[in-house]
Amino acid sequence: MTPLVQAEDLTKDFANGSRALRAVDAVSLEVGAGQVLGVVGESGSGKSTLGRLLLRLLEPSAGITRIDGQDLAALRPRALRRFRRNMQMVFQDPFASLNARMTVGDALAEPLRLHRGLRGPALKEASGALLEQVGLTREHLHRYPRAFSGGQRQRVAIARALASQPRFIVADEPVSALDVSIQAEVVNLLQDLQRSLGLALLLISHDLSIVEMVADRVMVLYLGRVMETADTEALFARPSHPYTAALMQAAPGARRRESRLVLSGEVPSPLDPPSGCVFRTRCPFAVADCAAARPVLRPVGPGHLKACIRDGLPL
Amino acid sequence: MLSTDLAEAAPTLRIDGLQTSFHTDSGIVRAVSDVSLAVRHGETLAVVGESGSGKSVTGLTVMRLLGRTAARIESGQVLLRGRDGRVVDLLALPERQMAKVRGRDVAMVFQDPMSSLNPVFPVGEQIAETIRIHRGASRAEARREAVALLEQVGISDPESRVDAFPHQLSGGMRQRVMIAIALACDPLLLIADEPTTALDVTIQAQIVALLRRLQLERAMAMIFVTHDLKLVEEIADQVAVMYAGQVVEQGPTAEVLARPLHPYTKALLDCVPHGRAAGRMRPIPGALPNPLAPPQGCRFHPRCPHAMPACVAAVPALEQAALDRVVRCIRWREVA
Ligand SMILES: Nc1ncnc2c1ncn2[C@@H]1O[C@H](COP(=O)(O)OP(=O)(O)OP(=O)(O)O)[C@@H](O)[C@H]1O
Ligand SMILES: Nc1ncnc2c1ncn2[C@@H]1O[C@H](COP(=O)(O)OP(=O)(O)OP(=O)(O)O)[C@@H](O)[C@H]1O
Ligand code: SF4
Ligand SMILES: [Mg+2]
Ligand SMILES: [Mg+2]
C-alpha cells in the first residue's frame, strides 16, 4: 500500500534580494494513514515551510508531493481547491487563527458549507457534533473566541480543521503558545483524534518530549536539510547524528551525562550556508572531509537514516 | 551553602507578605497577593509558575519598575542586605536612592532583549553607559570594560562587536549583551525573568550555562523566573512555585521536585511529558483562574483533586512543613 502522504526532494527557495534563501532542501518523507511524523529542529530550520509545502500553501521550487497518490502539481486551481478538503493545518496561535468577530458556530459553518455542502439543520447538527468531538459542548456554538481560554480556542481550531473531514493534518507547534497545564490536554486530544480517525499527522514542534510521546517517526531538520530520521524509539534510544544528540542533550532535564554535548556558536545564516555538511561549523566531531561534500542520507539501521559521514561517535 | 556562619546565611533579598495590585477599569487585579521569598548570596532561587501567576510583577516590584502602570504596592517589604551588611526596605527608599540601587545592587534581565536595548546606540555604548553612571569611570575605561564584559559573556570577537547595533546581533547574542549590562556593576542580586524563553534550545543551554558560571564566580544571588520545571532542575538551588499571585510552595529544588507537598506542584510535575513509556499525558483539569475574580479560599481548589469544603472557606496560610520548606495547603500532610 502506498503511504497517504509522499514527498520527494521537496525544495523551496525564497527570493532574498538578489540571492536565494533555501528554506527546505531536498526533503523526502512519507506519512501513512494513522501515522504521526514528528518534525523537530531549531528556529529557521524550515519546519513550517515544509508543512506549507506539503499542503500546497506554498509552491515548491522543486520536488513532488503526492497525497493519496495524487500529484498536487498536476491539479488545476479549481481541482486543487476541491482537493484541499483532504488536508488541513492547525497553527500555533489559537488567538490569531480564529476570527474574533465570528461566533464559533460561524467559524465551523464556513468549512462545513464549503467542503461538505451542508445547509440548515444538517449544518447545525454537524457543527455541534464537531464541538463535542473536541470535548466542548453545543452551547459553545454561540460564543465568540474571546470567551474561551487558550486551550479551548485550540480545541475550536482543531474542530475547524476537522470540519472538512481531512485525512492529513499538519499541526504546526499546536501547543507552544499554551500554558503547561493546558498543553497536555490538547496533546491528548490530538492524539485521540488522530488515532480514532486514522489521520496522517505531521506534528511540528520544538519540544522533543512532546514529539517523543506522540510521533511514530521523527525527522530532524537543520538549515532546511534532514540530518536524521528514524522510528521514534530508535531515534531517542540511539541518536546517530551529532546534531540529534546535541539537541536531545540541550533540552532541559535531559538525562545527565558526565560529558554533555554542548554546541558552541549559533546557526549560520541560511543565505550563506557552510559547504559540505551544513552542521559542521557547530559540530564537535567535524573533520576536514565534512567540508568537502554534502553527506548523503544513508541507512544506519532499519528505517534509520543519517546525513553524517562519520560513524562510531561517542554520542 | 558551605558556610554555617549566621551572617553568611542571612538572605541577600527577602520579600515579606508582598501584595501588588493593578487598579484597572474592569476591576482590581491582585497580581501578587501574598508573596514571601528569600534568596541568599551565592544561591539561585527559581520562581516557577504559569502565565499570569505574578512572576514578572514580583520582579518588577522588587526593582520598582512599575512606575508608569496602574500598579499599587498594597503591603509588604522587600529587604535587601547591602554590601555593608545593612538591611534596607527597597519599597521605602526615595526614588533617587532607588535609582542607585538599580543596576548597582540589583539588576534585571528580561525575556525580550530587543525591548530593553536601545535600537539607535551601539551595544558597547549601552554597557559603557551603565559603568559610567554607577562607577564614574572615564569613557575610555568604560569602553575597555565593555569589551572585557562582552568577552566574559561569551561573545566572540568582542572588539568589533562592541560597535554593533542591537539589530545586527542574533537573539542569543542580544541576551548576552543584556547579561553584560546587568553584570557591569557586579550586582548583589540578578533577577532574570525568563531570559531564555525566546531562544532555541541549544542557545538556551549556552545562556543557562553562562548564567550559572557567572553566578558562581561572582557568588551573586540570582532569582531565575521561568515556567519550565525542567529548567528549574538545571539551574536552581531553591524553588518557589507560584499560582494565581501566591507562592504555594518553596524549598530546596531537589526535594521539592522529588517530593512535592502542594497538589499544584504535584500536578504540574505530572503534566510535563515523561517519555513514551509513561503513557498518556496527565493534564490539570480546568483553566487558569480569572485574575479579576480569583477563586475563594485556596486559589487552586477548583482544579485540585483533594479539595474539600474547608479549602474554600479560607485562604490557606503558608505553613512551615520542614526546616527549609513551606507550603500553602491545609491538607499537605495527607496529600504528600
Ligand atoms: N516568506 C518567506 N520569505 C523569505 N524567507 C522565508 C519566508 N518564510 C520563511 N523564510 C525563511 O526560511 C527559513 C525557514 O523558515 P521556517 O519558518 O520554515 O522555519 P521554522 O523551522 O518553522 O522556524 P520556527 O521554529 O521559528 O517556526 C528561515 O530562514 C526563514 O527566515
Ligand atoms: N500593567 C498591568 N495592568 C494590569 N494588569 C496587569 C499589568 N501587568 C500585569 N498584570 C496582571 O497581573 C497578573 C500577573 O502578571 P505577571 O506578568 O506577573 O504574570 P507572569 O507570572 O509573569 O506571567 P507570564 O508567564 O505570562 O510572564 C496577570 O493577571 C496580569 O494580567
Ligand atoms: S558530517 Fe561531520 S560535521 Fe556533519 S555532523 Fe557528521 S561529523 Fe559533524
Ligand atoms: Mg515555524
Ligand atoms: Mg512574566
A23 lies within 8 A of chain B by CB: no
Q: Is A268 in the pocket of ligand 1 (CB under 6 A)?
A: no
Which residues 173-192 of A are in CB contact (within 8 Å) with B? 179-185, 187-188, 191
What are the pocket residues of ligand 3 if the criterion is a CB atom closer than 6 Å to any ligand atom? A 241-242, 277, 279-280, 283, 285-286, 290, 295, 308-310
Separation of alpha carbons B146 and A275, rounded Å:
35
Q: Which of A84-93, A104-113, A251-260, B28-37 has the lowest mean pLDDT?
A: A251-260
Label residues A207-241 b or e (16+ Cβ within 10 Å = b): bbbbbbbbbbbbbbbbbbbbbbbbbbebbbeebbb
The radius of gyration computed from the CA coordinates of chain A, to the nearest angstrom, equals 21
Confidence at A81, pLDDT banded by 50, 70, 90: very high
Q: Per-residue pLDDT averaged across B53-64, rounded?
A: 95
Residue A122 lies in a domain: no
Residue A249 lies in a domain: yes
Ligand 3 atom at shortest distance from the alpha carbon of A279 = 4
From chain A, pick out residues whose CB is under 8 angstroms from the CB of B156.
265
**Å from CA of B308 to ligand 1 middle:** 50
Output the CA–CA distances (angstroms, integers) from residue A188 to A173, A175, A212, B3, B143, in the order listed. 14, 11, 13, 48, 54
Q: Are B326 and B282 in contact (CB under 8 A)?
A: no
Q: Is A217 in the pocket of ligand 1 (CB under 6 A)?
A: no
Residue A37 lies in a domain: no
Give the closest residue (by CA) to ligand 3 atom 6: A308
Residue contact A187–B172, C-beta within 8 A: no
Q: How many domains does chain A have?
A: 1
Note the pLDDT of residue B215: 93
Separation of alpha carbons B101 and B51, rounded Å:
28
B209 lies within 8 A of chain A by CB: yes
Separation of alpha carbons B184 and B128, rounded Å:
8
Q: Is A272 in the pocket of ligand 1 (CB under 6 A)?
A: no
Residue A274 lies in a domain: yes
Q: Output the nine-digit C-alpha cell for A129.
A: 457534533
CA atoms within 13 A on the CB side of B261: 28
pTM summary value:
0.91
Q: Are B107 and B183 in contact (CB under 8 A)?
A: yes
**Å from CA of B200 to ligand 1 middle:** 14
**Å from CA of B24 to ligand 5 middle:** 19
Separation of alpha carbons B115 and A85, rounded Å:
42
Q: Using the predicted structure, report yes or no on whether residue B2 has a pLDDT greater than 70.
A: no
Q: Which of A52-61, A273-282, B205-214 has the lowest mean pLDDT?
A: B205-214
Q: Is A194 in the pocket of ligand 1 (CB under 6 A)?
A: no
Test mutation, B177, B202, B241, chain A, max A CBs within 10 A:
B202
Residue A212 lies in a domain: no
Share of chain B above pLDDT 90, in %: 76
Note the pLDDT of residue B196: 92
Paired with A87 in beta bridges are A168
Tens-digit pLDDT profile for residues B222-268: 999 999 998 999 999 999 999 999 999 999 999 999 999 999 999 99
Shortest Cα–Cα distance, B199 to chain A (Å): 9
Q: Output the nine-digit C-alpha cell for B310.
A: 474547608
Q: Per-residue pLDDT averaged across A26-50, rounded?
A: 96
Q: Got the DSSP string for B257-307? A: HHS--SHHHHHHHHTS---GGG-S--PPSS-PPPTTSPPSSSTTGGG-TT-
Residue A48 lies in a domain: no
Note the pLDDT of residue A257: 53
Separation of alpha carbons A25 and A273, rounded Å:
12
Q: Are A168 and A199 in contact (CB under 8 A)?
A: yes
A151 lies within 8 A of chain B by CB: yes
Chain B residue with minimum CA distance to A185: B283
Nearest by Cα to B186 from B131, B237, B133: B131
Q: Which of A26-40, A124-138, A258-272, B191-205 has the lowest mean pLDDT?
A: A258-272
Q: What is the residue range of A296's domain?
A: 239-315
Residue A266 lies in a domain: yes
Output the CA–CA distances (angstroms, integers) from residue B179 to A11, A172, B207, in the order listed. 39, 32, 9
**Å from CA of A23 to ligand 1 middle:** 6
Tens-digit pLDDT profile for residues A185-217: 999 999 999 999 999 999 999 899 999 999 999
Separation of alpha carbons B282 and A188, rounded Å:
8
> Vertex A102, ends A101 and A103: CA angle to 5°?
125
Count of A–B CB contacts within 8 Å? Answer: 105
B276 lies within 8 A of chain A by CB: yes
Residue A15 lies in a domain: no
Residue contact A263–B229, C-beta within 8 A: no
Nearest by Cα to A158 from A85, A92, A84, A86: A92
